[in-house]
Amino acid sequence: MSVLSDSYKRIMSEVEAKITDQNELEFVKLKMNELSMIFMEVIDNLSNETNQKIKRLEEKQQKIEDKMLEVENYVNDIENDMLDEMEEIIVDEEYDDGFEITCPYCNKDFYADINGKNEIDCPECKNIIELDWNDEEEQQSCGCANGGCNSCPGCNVDLKRNQENKDNEKGK
């Protein structure tokens, strides 16, 4: 603005130097002031319009940034879900051939690929765990050698059959 102010002062001093009639000089100064005020008003209006446009652009930009953030969060959620699913698939594939084993020494649960091994090392306590592949003992895990307990399904069925046979013999 100082350039404009300096130019205005220079022009006014030139006008004062050329116009010798005091009434004409006052008239010209008045009209120059009016003209200057009109220009200043135009400049102010342009400045206000520009500021309003800038404000609207900033508001639109903020809305766009908010939507971009929303989309980014949505994409991140999808990406995390996909990564979680891939991790589950990888974990499932890792343990497809293995067995879950609980160490009898430290109670650590772990997966191991045993492939017919008779023993395996616990990854936690490093103790050797003997693997027992005897199917007969698994069937007799209730502790009854001859059947007849109520704790396992096989023995419970045998007990019911034995009771039915006894009832049938008594009824004859």
Query: Quick check: 72 pLDDT over 70?
Result: yes
Q: Which residue has the higher pLDDT, 99 or 42?
A: 42
Contact between 124 and 105 under an 8 Å Cβ cutoff? The reply is: no
Query: Which span out of 35-39, 57-61, 122-126 was modeled with the highest average pLDDT?
Result: 57-61
Q: How does DSSP assign 36-89, residue by residue?
A: HHHHHHHHHHHHHHHHHHHHHHHHHHHHHHHHHHHHHHHHHHHHHHHHHHHHHH
Share of the chain above pLDDT 70, in %: 71
pTM: 0.39
Span of 27-41, 43-57, 109-123, 132-146 with lowest mean pLDDT: 132-146
- What average pLDDT does the structure give for the chain? 80
Contact between 12 and 32 under an 8 Å Cβ cutoff? The reply is: yes
pLDDT for residue 85: 84
Q: How far apart are CA 1 and CA 150, in angstroms?
A: 104
Tens digit of each residue's pLDDT (9 = 90 or more) over 149-171: 555 555 555 555 566 666 666 66
Tens digit of each residue's pLDDT (9 = 90 or more) over 109-151: 887 877 777 888 898 999 998 877 665 444 444 555 555 555 5
Domain ranges of the chain: 2-94
Residue 122: CB atoms within 10 A of its CB come to: 19
* pLDDT bucket at 88, cuts 50 / 70 / 90: confident
* pLDDT bucket at 45, cuts 50 / 70 / 90: very high
Q: How far apart are CA 141 and CA 150, in angstroms?
A: 13
Q: How far apart are CA 126 and CA 120, in angstroms?
A: 9
Going by their DSSP bridges, the two strands 109-112 and 119-121 should be labelled as unpaired
